[in-house]
Amino acid sequence: SYSISTVIYNNKNIETLVLSNNKLTDIGLEVIMQNLSLCKDLKKLDLKGNHISFNSLRLQEYFEKLLIETSIFSLNLSFNKIN
């Protein structure tokens, strides 16, 4: 997760990010989300098939920030453990 976060930090022009089926948990996704809102041109984020549950308030806050601060219009969270 840390290496993905570093790549995102160093490539803020990302428009599409596919992280499906990577066994990401809330904790791992939090690390990635810290830098993802810096990608103002982000349009598509695919997190399908991970182990995301959204039990973390911090993660929910990161997603709110992402929706406000980026150009995202496609978010795939299918096949996760979301309650």
Instruction: Tell me what pLDDT residue 45 has.
Output: 97
For 39-56, b/e burial (b = at least 16 CB within 10 A) is beebeebbbebbebeeee
Instruction: Tell me what pLDDT residue 57 has.
Output: 86
Instruction: Tell me what pLDDT residue 43 has.
Output: 97
Instruction: Tell me what pLDDT residue 8 has.
Output: 92
Strand, coil or helix: what is 56?
coil
Instruction: Tell me what pLDDT residue 74 has.
Output: 96
Q: Chunked in runs of 10, what are the mean pLDDT values of the chain (83 residues)?
A: 88 96 94 92 97 90 92 95 83
